[in-house]
Amino acid sequence: APVITVHVPLGDRAYDIFVGRGLLGEAGARIAALGARAAAIVTDSNVGALYGGALADALQQRGLRASIITVAPGEATKSYASLETVCDAVLEARIERGDLVIALGGGVVGDLAGFAAAVARRGVRFVQVPTSLLSQVDSSVGGKTGINSRHGKNLVGAFHQPSLVLADTALLDTLPIREMRAGYAEVVKYGLIDDAGFFDWCEANWQGVFAGGPERNEAVAQSCRAKAAVVVRDEREEGDRALLNLGHTFGHALERITRYDSARLVHGEGVAIGMCLAFRFSAFLGLCSADDATRVERHLVTVGLPTRLQDVPGGFGTVDELLDGMAQDKKVKAGALTFILARGIGQSFVAHGIEIAKVRAFLNHEI
Ligand code: NAD
Ligand code: ZN
C-alpha cells in the first residue's frame, strides 16, 4: 500500500512522519533504521492488547531488545505516579540514550511516554506510533509532551521531538466511533484555520475518512503537513502556534465544566462545539458571515459531532461558569481574552484583548 511521507524540517531534530495503511507491518524495518539496540514500548491496556505483541515481535525480528510497559487507559494516566512508573520501567529495561522509547497509543500514551523519554537519562530518543485519530493528526506531531497537575492539564512537561512518527491508519479500524469523530474535529480545524480548500475536501470526502479508504490517509497526511508547518514556524508556541487553539478556549471551558468526564465530553467534542462558537462569535462581531458559521456547523453535525452548548450532556452550566472556565485558560491576560477568530473559512487569526463583556453578550445571545 502507498505510504505518504511528511518531513518535519526542524534542523538537527528534523524527522519524518510516515502515513499509510498497514505500516505496523513494516515498523520493524523503519524503527531498526534508527540504529538503536533496545526499545521500551509504552502502551495502554486497550491498545497493548490489540497491537503490542505485533510491534514487539516486529522489533525482535530485527534484533532489537523490546519490552512492553502497559499503563491504564484514560486521562488520569497523565500523572506524576505514571511518570514514575514509566521512567523506572525504562531504566529497568536498560534503555540507554541511543535507544528508544516508543509510544504506542493515543495522545495520553504519547504525552506520557514522550515526557518520560525527555527526562529519563536527561533524554532518550522517542518514536511515536499514534493509534487514535487525534494522536495521528495532532498530538504525535509537534514535540509537546507532559502530564497533568492538580493545578491543571498539561502543566508539567517538556518539548521533546520524536525521531520518527509511524501513523498506521489501519489501526483506526478498532477505534471507537466516538473517538474517531472527536479526532476528526481536529482534522476539520486545519481547514478552518487557513485552508478553505481542505475544508471543501472534508465536506466531499469525510465518508471515505471514516470508512478507512485512501481518503483517510490523505486526511491524516494533510493534517500532519498543516500542523508541522505551524510547528516549524513556531516550535515553542510563542506566536503563530496559537492558531492551533481554534475552538479550544470555549472547548477547554466545557471540558472543565464537565470535569474532564469522558462519559460526558471528550476533548474533540469540546473542540467541535468550540469551533462552532468561535465562528458564531466571529459572525456576532461582524467579522465573518453567518453563512460561514452555518456551513461549519452543518459539516460537524453531518459527521455526528456536537455543535451547540445545549448538546453538552448534563448541561453546560451558566454563562458565568463558562466565563470562569475560559478565564482559567492560560491564554487569558488581565481581564481580556485571546481568541482565535475568523474572517471566513480558512481565514482564522489570533485576536488579543477581546473584552469579557463582549464574550458575555455573545454567550447570553447563544442560550
Ligand atoms: P486517548 O489516548 O485516551 O485514547 C482514546 C481512547 O481510545 C483510549 O481509551 C485508548 O485506549 C483508545 N484507543 C486508542 N487507539 C485505539 C485503537 N487503535 N483501537 C482501539 N482503541 C484505541 O485519547 P486521545 O484522544 O488519543 O488523546 C488525548 C490526549 O492527547 C489528551 O491528554 C490531550 O491533552 C493530548 N493532546 C496532546 C497534544 C500535544 O500536542 N501533545 C495535542 C492534542 C492533545
Ligand atoms: Zn485539541
Tell me what pLDDT residue 325 has: 87
Task: Judge if the beta carbon of residue 69 lies within 6 A of ligand 1.
Answer: no
d(CA 219, CA 70): 29
Find the 158 Cα to ligand 2 centroid distance in Å.
18
For ligand 1, say whether the CB of 179 is within 6 Å of any of its atoms: yes
Report pLDDT for 58: 95
φ, ψ of residue 37 to 5 degrees: the values are -100, -25
**Could you give phi then psi for residue 280, rounded to 5 degrees?**
-70, -35
Q: How many whole angstroms separate alpha carbon 132 and alpha carbon 266?
A: 13
Contacts of 92 (CB under 8 A, 6+ apart): none
Nearest atom (ligand 1) to Cα of 266? 25
| Probe target for ligand 1 pocket from 139, 171, 189, with the most ligand atoms within 8 Å of CB | 139
Cut 0.80: pTM above it: yes
What is the pLDDT at residue 89? 98
Q: Check pocket membership of 16 for ligand 1, CB cut-off 6 A.
A: no
| Ligand 1 atom at minimal distance to the Cα of residue 182 | 25
Whether 186 is in the pocket of ligand 1, judged by its Cβ within 6 Å, is no
Q: Which residues are catalytic?
A: 122, 144, 186, 227, 237, 241, 245, 248, 252, 267
Per-residue pLDDT, 103: 98
Beta bridge partners of 16: 7, 164
Please give the pLDDT value at position 22: 96
Q: How far apart are the first and last CA of the chain?
A: 49
Give the domains, in start order, of the chain with CATH numbers: 4-174 (3.40.50.1970), 177-366 (1.20.1090.10)
Q: Give the DSSP letter string of 8-19.
A: E--GGG-EEEEE
Residue 144 Cβ < 6 Å to ligand 1: yes
CA of 192 to the centre of ligand 1 (A): 22
**Complex-level ipTM beyond the 0.95 threshold:** yes
Q: What residue ranges of the chain have pLDDT lower than 70? A: 1, 329-334
